[in-house]
A and B are shown apart, each in its own frame.
Chain A
Amino acid sequence: MIRKLSALPILIFLVIVYFLYSGLSKDPTLIPSPLIGKTIPEFTSKTLFDGNTITSKDLLGKSFIINVWGSWCYGCSIEHDYLIDISSKNTIQIYGLNYKDDRSSAIKWLQSKGNPYRRVIFDSSGDIAIDFGVYGAPETFLVNEQGVIIHKHVGPIDQSYYNNVILPNLRK
């Protein structure tokens, strides 16, 4: 009896290790967004560089990515090279949503690091980001040609984002 009981800790332990292991391969920051399956919120704003008006309708037509970023955000600098990499593939358009930033430092940031964005929506007040349900920068939304959000990623993206999220959706 006691011998059997003393094997119990090992069993419990193995179960826990299994769960920990399976947890490692999953992304805890994957927060289901109520916006998934819905059209992107409407907005009218100015672009970062030239200050021209940009509206949500201007984005539609092809599937695209909206990347929420700011020059103040550490995670954004981590993912920046991947964004540039994605934009150089020319398979999908990337729009930037410059979140709670000031214009000159945002422009300077893009000039020094390279600009992966087709156009950058300037959202210094953060109002548009609120409509998108943004938790914090960086966040990345994948939107199809009808303007329906099909995926949301919280935190910096990496290589797997292109391979596992964008590519499968492009093939559809």
Chain B
Amino acid sequence: MITEIGNFLLSISASLSLCIFLSLFLKKTISNEVRFLFCKIASHIITFLIFISFVLLSYAFLTDDFSLRYVANNSNVSLENIYKFSAVWGAHEGSILLWVFVLSIWSSCIVLFSSSIPKVIVSDMLSIMGILLLFFLIFILFSSNPFDRIFPIPINGRDLNPLLQDPGLIIHPPMLYIGYVGTSVPFVFAISILLNENIKLEWISWLRKWVISSWMFLTIGISLGSWWAYHELGWGGWWFWDPVENASFMPWLAITALLHSLIVSEKRGIFISWSILLAILTFSLSLLGTFLVRSGILVSVHAFANDPERGMYILIFLSLIIGLSLGLYFIKSRSLIFEKEYTVSSKEFILLLNNLFLTITTFAILLGTLYPLITSSLNLGKISVGAPYFNFIFSALMLPIVFLMSPAIYSTWKKTNYSKLTKKLLTFLFYSIVITYIFMNFYFKSDIFIVYLAMSLAFFTIISSVAKLLLILKNSNNKKIISNIFSIPSSMLSNLLAHIGIGILIIGITLSNYYSIQKEVAMQQNSQILVKDITIKFVDVKNKISKNYTSQVGVFDAYINNDYFISFFPEKRTYNIQKNIMTEAAINSTLLRDIYVALGENLSNDTWVVRIYYKPYIQLLWYGVLLMILGGLFGIFGRNKLEKKLNNDS
């Protein structure tokens, strides 16, 4: 029954999406009001229908309905309920359903929150959304249907990939998808602007909130993925430049560039054509990411589905959508080029440089990611560029971007008082170098140049942003600090918070990268090892039996100066059904350092390979990301000045 209802709901949604798309061609014949009303209601119905089919699939998982092939392949009676639910998006078919579900939610959101945009534009946006929805629905119905049956019906399912049986994985994919798919909003906006050859500045401030939302969800999604890799996979790191990680990082870079170019477009009415191109680029990169993950053309830890046929379908769609968009851009973009004067010291110019560097970074990462494909199609052999390439090129391009953050905060539009700006910035730079020097010399006693450089730039950004914050607080006449904080324009607050976050993030990355201690040793029971000032003693290995796995749990006691301090219980799990072995690292975190103990191979009766990492300041990484997300929240929910002005005017 579920199969029939599911297919029915998805088919209806597909037909409705087609209708919404076709209404684009009836622009001249039906009235705007009617078309808007139709697109609006149809969009909501689609969202509702896809939601119901999503609920149906979840129901099938929770009730162990193994007559569905997808459920049988990805679940098991002994699986915990929460993982039965997250298994809905645990493999290809379900994750595409999640994709399209999120897409429909975004299109409903466009309907709900677009009162400040003319109905023609909104209807056009919904029509473009319609064709995107249609594609993914057809893709689901014909080649990735989670409602397909299996016969004979197996008694039990094959279980969810143990790698995915983790709390982090319950929310990582949905968050990432919300961000990923959210890039469709600027995209459909850009296309509608090109179709109508008309733009007003207040529409851009409308768009900015959508861009910030999508940016924020991407940030959350990517960092959750990193957090998960660090805490659960036992890989000892949090970023691996894996093709699929890159696939989510490229849209993030592009949308960050878009975020900044939109500020210029909104405030000064220039860079509009460029912003439009960036919006198309960002969504293209999202589609490319989906293609890379789903076609399995690159070897990656994430590539679960290797299916060239599905890949071909996505590739054809991707080429059509992006090709047509770029063609449209080529024809129509000139009408959106406005020129205004600005000088080298202006905010416009600094943001232009920011965009330039971010775009170059995006393409450098794209090149590295596609490199194995390029060399193999040119018959140069299969060469992958690894972390060294990415680390080098990324840090090299990031340094100028970070350096530009402070001038960007203090410069003004059109023209900045040059001597005043340099004086102020040089002071900040001086302080940040002094702080870096003191910190590094007394704490790490190390003289790696690149660390000094990165740390100074990070402090430079933090000091400039905090100083700006204090300056605004001092200048406002209100005496109470709390109400003062709320009196800061939210766009300014969000900008400063995000930049402080970046600074803290960089400190965390740099210190944990350069000063971590890694030991991979064979340890006998009751032997001990000294890591920094901590003695770690290997006490025992115990067996533990859980519902769907058995595990060996190591017991390690840590001592500081012979005083007992904490115990670590790293696990090695063997899942009953797929027989995969999973490592669960044990981590003790404080702001200053993480200690990370993972159990490796069992060499003999009481001897194990043990991996111990000491990572200083790695927690700052997560705090930095939290500040960026907080900045995003202020950007979305804070009312910005322009909007207030508009509301007051009307």
Give CA–CA (A29, B308) in the complex, Å: 13
List the B side residues contacting A19 at CB < 8 Å: 370, 373-374, 377
**Min CB gap B71→A, angstroms:** 15
A167 at the interface (CB under 8 A from B): no
| B-binding residues in A (CB < 8 A) | 2-3, 6-7, 9-10, 13-14, 16-26, 28-30, 32, 70, 72, 74, 100, 155
List the A side residues contacting B326 at CB < 8 Å: 9-10, 13
Grouping DSSP codes into helix (H, G, I), strand (E, B) and loop, the B interface class, with mixed when no group exceeds half, is: helix
B315 at the interface (CB under 8 A from A): yes
List the A side residues contacting B370 at CB < 8 Å: 16, 19-20
| Given A9-B277, A32-B382, A72-B578, A21-B329 contact (CB < 8 Å) | no
B333 at the interface (CB under 8 A from A): yes
| Given A10-B327, A28-B296, A23-B377 contact (CB < 8 Å) | yes
Pair A29/B299 contact, Cβ less than 8 Å:
yes
List the A side residues contacting B589 at CB < 8 Å: none
B319 at the interface (CB under 8 A from A): yes
Give CA–CA (A74, B277) in the complex, Å: 44
List the B side residues contacting A28 at CB < 8 Å: 296-299, 303, 306, 372
Per a CB cutoff under 8 Å, which of B315, B366, B372, B382 touches A17?
B315
* B324-346 interface bits toward A, Cβ cutoff 8 Å, 1 = contact, 0 = none: 00110110011001000000000
**Min CB gap A127→B, angstroms:** 14
Give CA–CA (A29, B275) in the complex, Å: 39
* B569-608 interface bits toward A, Cβ cutoff 8 Å, 1 = contact, 0 = none: 0000000001100000000000000000000000000000
Pair B297/A24 contact, Cβ less than 8 Å:
yes
Pair B158/A9 contact, Cβ less than 8 Å:
no
B199 at the interface (CB under 8 A from A): no
**Min CB gap A45→B, angstroms:** 21
Q: How many Cβ-Cβ contacts under 8 Å join chain A to chain B? A: 80
Pair A10/B295 contact, Cβ less than 8 Å:
no
Q: Which residues of B348-379 are within 8 A (CB) of A?
A: 366, 370, 372-374, 376-377
**Min CB gap B128→A, angstroms:** 18
Closest 3 CB pairs of A and B: A22-B377, A72-B579, A23-B373
Grouping DSSP codes into helix (H, G, I), strand (E, B) and loop, the A interface class, with mixed when no group exceeds half, is: helix
Q: How large is the interface on B (under 10, 10 to 19, 20 to 34, 35 or more residues)?
A: 35 or more
Pair A6/B315 contact, Cβ less than 8 Å:
no
**Min CB gap A66→B, angstroms:** 21
**Min CB gap B286→A, angstroms:** 14
B291 at the interface (CB under 8 A from A): yes
List the A side residues contacting B303 at CB < 8 Å: 28
| Given A2-B334, A3-B334, A74-B158, A26-B376 contact (CB < 8 Å) | yes
| Nearest-neighbor residue (CB-CB) of A25 within chain B | B308
B178 at the interface (CB under 8 A from A): no
B281 at the interface (CB under 8 A from A): yes
Give CA–CA (A23, B382) in the complex, Å: 11
Pair A20/B334 contact, Cβ less than 8 Å:
no
Give CA–CA (A72, B574) in the complex, Å: 12
B311 at the interface (CB under 8 A from A): yes
**Min CB gap B182→A, angstroms:** 22
**Min CB gap B90→A, angstroms:** 13
A/B interface sample: 18 pairs, CB < 8 A: A2-B337, A6-B334, A9-B277, A9-B281, A10-B323, A10-B327, A13-B322, A16-B366, A18-B377, A19-B373, A19-B377, A24-B297, A24-B308, A24-B315, A25-B308, A26-B377, A72-B579, A74-B578
**Min CB gap A55→B, angstroms:** 28
| Nearest-neighbor residue (CB-CB) of B303 within chain A | A28
